[in-house]
Amino acid sequence: MKHTLTAHELTKLLISRDVSSEELTRAVYEHIGKTDKQIGAYITLTKDTAIEQAKEADKRIKEKRGVAPLTGIPIAIKDNMCVKDVLCTCASKMLNDFVPPYNATVINKLRENGLVFLGKTNMDEFAMGSSTETSCFKITRNPWDTNAIPGGSSGGSAAAVASDQAILSIGSDTGGSIRQPASHCGIVGMKPTYGRVSRYGLVAFASSLDQIGPLTKDVWDCAALLEVISGYDPLDSTSLRMDSPDYMSFLNKDIKNIKIGVPKEYFIEGIDKDVELAVKGAIKKLEKLGAIIEEVSLPHTEYAVATYYIIAPAEASANLARYDGVKYGYRAKGEGVDNDLLGMYENTRKEGFGAEVKRRIMLGTHTLSSGYYDAYYLKAQKVRTLIKQDFDKAFKKFDILVTPTSPTPAFKIGEKTDDPLQMYLSDIFTIPTNLAGLPAISLPCGLNKNGLPMGLQLIGDYFDEGKILQVAHAFEQSTDFHRSKAI
Spatial neighbors of 126 by CB under 8 A, at least 6 apart, are 80, 90, 91, 92, 203, 205, 316, 320, 357
Question: Residue 152 carries which side chain, given as an amino acid letter?
Answer: G
Distance, in Å, from the CA atom of 155 to the CA atom of 322, rounded to the nearest integer, reads: 26
| Residue of 130, 153, 157, 198 marked catalytic | 153
- Cβ atoms 427, 154 nearer than 8 A: no
Based on the residue annotation, tell me whether 163 is a catalytic residue of this protein.
no
Distance, in Å, from the CA atom of 420 to the CA atom of 417, rounded to the nearest integer, reads: 6
**CB burial of residue 44 (10 Å; 0-12, 13-18, 19+):** middle
Please name every residue paired with 97 in a beta bridge, in sequence order, or none if there are none.
Answer: none
Please name every residue paired with 459 in a beta bridge, in sequence order, or none if there are none.
Answer: 401, 440
Based on the residue annotation, tell me whether 327 is a catalytic residue of this protein.
no
| Alpha-carbon distances of 109 from 221, 247, 279, 320, rounded to whole Å | 16, 16, 35, 27
Other beta carbons within 10 Å of 270: 8
Phi, psi for 304 (deg, rounded to 5)? -65, -45
Based on the residue annotation, tell me whether 177 is a catalytic residue of this protein.
yes
- Cβ atoms 343, 335 nearer than 8 A: no
| Residue of 2, 20, 78, 317 marked catalytic | 78
| Residue of 92, 154, 163, 177 marked catalytic | 177
DSSP 8-state symbol, 264: G
Helix or strand (DSSP H, E) at 295: strand 292-296
Residues taking part in catalysis: 78, 153, 177
